[in-house]
């Protein structure tokens, strides 16, 4: 696993680490075990009344310049839904209503030469006062567009492409039933 190669010393006793292919760090001297678990991120496909969705243009690597639903990492001790709402506020300055879980997808996030395993949690919600949306924290720009018109090649991460496809299918099925 990628993060293990970045552990050069045991965090408990300070002994030099020995190379391992195990999914966790185990100190050969003191027996300390550190499990490398996935971090959790939340993203929201945010709708306005005309059916268009808000996508942000990422200001930073990875995937700088590509489109994504507003979102980011969930803080320790924070419920995923609260993290999703907070990230929307931080990135585009909006509040949401009717937050509904869509799906989860695994992801890999390269940051400072370390690839982190991530579980991305995707939601769909309605934007409250969508006209107030603005590019804020770590956002280069925003665009309101029909989810069906977004090119998958413009989407930042494979997990987001997969969730967008699932959401498009669900929207199409709902139109057929109506």
Q: Are residue 46 and residue 100 in the same domain, yes or no? A: yes
pLDDT tens string, the chain, 178 residues long: the values are 455 567 788 889 999 887 776 778 888 889 998 888 899 999 999 999 999 999 999 999 999 999 999 999 999 999 999 999 999 999 999 999 999 999 999 999 888 877 889 999 999 999 999 999 999 989 999 999 999 999 999 999 999 999 999 999 998 888 887 5
Q: Are residue 43 and residue 87 in the same domain, yes or no? A: yes
**CATH code of the domain containing 153:** 3.90.79.10
- In which domain, by residue range, is 134 found? 39-177
Q: Give how many domains the chain has, as a whole number.
A: 2
Cα(133)–Cα(126) distance, integer angstroms:
13
- The answer to whether the pTM exceeds 0.75 is yes
Joined together, the tokens standing for residue 44 give: 């929201």
Cα(41)–Cα(120) distance, integer angstroms:
5
Q: Are residue 31 and residue 53 in the same domain, yes or no? A: no
Joined together, the tokens standing for residue 108 give: 């890999």
Q: Are residue 11 and residue 91 in the same domain, yes or no? A: no
Q: Are residue 9 and residue 85 in the same domain, yes or no? A: no
Q: Are 123 and 81 in contact (CB under 8 A)?
A: yes
Count the helices and strands in the chain (H runs, E runs): 2, 9
Cα(178)–Cα(176) distance, integer angstroms:
6
Residue whose entry in the numeric block shows the structure tokens 């190379």: 19
């Amino acid at each position: 696993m990628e993060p293990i190669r970045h552990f050069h010393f045991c965090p408990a006793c300070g002994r030099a680490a020995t190379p391992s292919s195990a999914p966790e760090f185990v100190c050969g001297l003191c027996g300390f075990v550190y499990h490398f678990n996935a971090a959790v991120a939340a993203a929201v496909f945010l709708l306005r009344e005309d059916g268009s969705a808000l996508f942000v243009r990422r200001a930073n690597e990875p995937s700088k310049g590509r489109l994504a639903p507003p979102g980011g990492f969930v803080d320790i001790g924070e419920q995923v839904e609260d993290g999703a709402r907070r990230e929307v506020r931080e990135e585009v300055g909006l509040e949401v209503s009717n937050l509904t879980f869509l799906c989860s997808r695994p992801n890999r996030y390269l940051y400072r030469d370390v690839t982190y395993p991530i579980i991305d949690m995707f939601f769909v919600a309605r934007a409250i006062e969508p006209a107030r949306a603005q590019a804020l924290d770590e956002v280069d720009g925003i665009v309101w567009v029909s989810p069906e018109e977004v090119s998958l090649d413009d989407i930042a991460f494979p997990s987001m492409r997969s969730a967008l496809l699932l959401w498009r299918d669900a929207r199409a099925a709902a139109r057929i039933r109506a």
